[in-house]
A and B are shown apart, each in its own frame.
Chain A
Amino acid sequence: DTGVSQDPRHKITKRGQNVTFRCDPISEHNRLYWYRQTLGQGPEFLTYFQNEAQLEKSRLLSDRFSAERPKGSFSTLEIQRTEQGDSAMYLCASSLADREANEQFFGPGTRLTVL
Chain B
Amino acid sequence: AQKITQTQPGMFVQEKEAVTLDCTYDTSDPSYGLFWYKQPSSGEMIFLIYQGSYDQQNATEGRYSLNFQKARKSANLVISASQLGDSAMYFCAMREGWNRDDKIIFGKGTRLHILP
Contact = CB atoms under 8 A, between A and B. Distances in A.
Interface stretch (B14-22, B44-52, B68-76, B80-88): B44-52
Contacts, number: 60
Contacts of B44: 106-109
B45 A91 contact: yes
A48 B101 contact: yes
Which of A31, A100, A104, A105 gathers most chain B CB within 10 Å? A104
Contact of B93 (A31, A40, A42, A55): A42
B35 A103 contact: yes
A105 B35 CA distance: 12
A42 B101 contact: no
Given A103-B50, A106-B44, A106-B47, 7 more contacts: A42-B107, A43-B45, A45-B104, A93-B45, A97-B100, A101-B50, A106-B45
Interface of B: 4, 33, 35, 37, 42-47, 50, 52, 91, 93, 95, 100-101, 103-109
29 contacts: A31-B101, A33-B103, A33-B104, A40-B108, A42-B4, A42-B91, A42-B106, A43-B45, A43-B104, A44-B106, A50-B101, A56-B103, A93-B45, A97-B100, A100-B100, A101-B35, A101-B52, A102-B33, A102-B100, A102-B101, A103-B35, A103-B47, A104-B47, A105-B47, A106-B37, A107-B44, A108-B42, A108-B44, A111-B43
